[in-house]
Structure 1
Amino acid sequence: MATLTPFFAPAGGGGFVNYTCYGTSNTPQGWDAGDWPDILLNISPYTWASLGIVMALSLSVLGAAWGIWITGSTLVGAAVKAPRIKSKNLVSVIFCEATAIFGVIIAIILQGKLSDISVGENDKAPSAICATLFYSGYSIFWAGFAVGATNLASGITVGISGSGCALADAQDPSLFVKILIVEIFGSALGIFGLIVGIIMTQNAQF
């Protein structure tokens, strides 16, 4: 059972100000001692939320960089033999970069949900405050993970398909548009993750 404790007590009382939640088993000594699931409650909800923001941004940028690495190196190599492909195949690089933009967007949205705790004496009970904090922390964490993972997969998918698109276009220009459709569907994966992440955190608020 998580409890609420103050960082400091304001002079003259006056309600709950700057409180934090923590669990009941801080130092379990072995598998049979303490409440192991409660260890998660000893991690600050702000830590969970911050980790979610970090994963959303870092995994998205990693996916974009990985995709650009794959498709960019192939494009440069194929353009040596077929210079005509270097301009229109840059759209593959743009699709890869879009996954990083999705990560930046969700990171800004999630960061806007973080704020200091300031609860007046007529507001929610400590247990309700604690539940709200952990709900917000976990939802932001998993939303960030979901967005980051989908953008990572999307970036790699677009990179590989973009690489194939450049090679196919170098051999047969009529294949460019057909393979570009595959890239568009791969890029849509990142949009799905972004939408789900926003929905997951719509009720999260510190």
Structure 2
Amino acid sequence: MSSLTCTSEYCNQGWSEVLTHMSPYGFANFGVAFGLGLSVIGAAWGIWLTGSSLVGAAVKAPRIKSKNLVSVIFCEATAIYGLIMAIILGNKIKEPESVGYYLDEGWDYNGYYYAGYGMFSAGLSVGLTNIASGVSVGLAGSSCAIADAQDASLFVKILIVEIFASALGIFGIIVGIIQSNACTFPTFALSQE
């Protein structure tokens, strides 16, 4: 069999061409999607880890069912952080007041791409941080439920570890807000000189 060869000039273009020719609004919307989607995945993963251990440990010690629901709430907070960031980023996406038909009409294309890339990185930062936070809170909550079933005095001690794991999500949303502060889509054309 012969291998396919491409003689067109477009065949040698790589990912850099894809990334530089994608709409900045697309990058911004992908940032919103990744921020919210990955945060919800992190929360779901943490709730799965905590919930399965909580149900299993509650068979041995039914008294732990209600107070260990705090662990599930900490996991759910990571989804809320993603939702907050999605609202912040979504409000920053502004449509231009008028649309130019030619590239030389005075539009600040660098400003568009700066805002699009910045919003993409802010959403990705929040989403990846909240996956890590959700998993770590889930593991700590799982340990808390199992330890509490064995010895009730361990609940508060392990809950403190869980609070530190939840702080990862707070740090992520702070970094995302700082990243998104400079992301403003231009809404008007630059003056022609």
**When the two structures are superposed, what TM-score results if normalisation uses the length of structure 1?**
0.80
Give 1:81 shift.
1.1
Is 1:174 equivalent to 2:158 in the alignment?
A: no
Residues 104-163 of structure 1, C-alpha deviation per residue, up to 9 Å, x if partnerless? 000000000011112599xxx856610110000000001000000000110010001100
Quick one: higher RCO (CA 8 Å, sep 6+), 1 or 2?
2
CA contact 1:147–1:194 (8 Å) conserved in 2: yes
Given the superposition, is the C-alpha separation of residues 28 and 198 from structure 1 closer, same or farther in structure 2, using an over 3 Å criterion? Answer: farther
Is 1:84 equivalent to 2:63 in the alignment?
A: yes
CA contact 1:48–1:140 (8 Å) conserved in 2: yes
Give the percent of matched residue pairs that are identical in Structure 1 and Structure 2.
59
Q: Paired residues, what number? A: 175
Matching residue of 1:155: 134
**For residues 9 and 58 of structure 2, what CA distance do their matches in structure 1 show?**
61
Give 1:35 shift.
8.1
CA contact 1:28–1:36 (8 Å) conserved in 2: no
Given the superposition, is the C-alpha separation of residues 45 and 191 from structure 1 closer, same or farther in structure 2, using an over 3 Å criterion? Answer: same
**For residues 14 and 65 of structure 2, what CA distance do their matches in structure 1 show?**
60
User: Greater helix share, 1 or 2?
Assistant: 2
Deviation above 4 Å: which 4+ runs of structure 1? 125-128
**For residues 135 and 101 of structure 1, what CA distance do their matches in structure 2 show?**
27
Matching residue of 1:57: 36
Q: Of the candidates 196, 202, 205, which is equivalent to residue 175 of structure 2?
A: 196
Matching residue of 1:29: 10
Secondary structure of 2:153's partner? helix
**For residues 74 and 159 of structure 1, what CA distance do their matches in structure 2 show?**
10
Is 1:113 equivalent to 2:97 in the alignment?
A: no
Give 1:29 shift.
2.8
Structure 1, unaligned runs of 5 or more:
1-26
Return the letter of the residue paired with 1:164.
Answer: S
Give 1:37 shift.
2.9
Q: Of the candidates 110, 116, 128, which is equivalent to residue 131 of structure 1?
A: 110
Structure 2, unaligned runs of 5 or more:
1-7, 186-193
Matching residue of 1:46: 25
CA contact 1:28–1:35 (8 Å) conserved in 2: no
Given the superposition, is the C-alpha separation of residues 178 and 35 from structure 1 closer, same or farther in structure 2, using an over 3 Å criterion? Answer: closer
**For residues 106 and 18 of structure 2, what CA distance do their matches in structure 1 show?**
18
Return the letter of the residue paired with 2:86.
Answer: A
Residues 52-111 of structure 1, C-alpha deviation per residue, up to 9 Å, x if partnerless? 000000000000011001101110111111011111111000000000000000000000
**For residues 143 and 187 of structure 1, what CA distance do their matches in structure 2 show?**
19
Q: Which moved more, 1:45-54 or 1:72-81?
A: 72-81
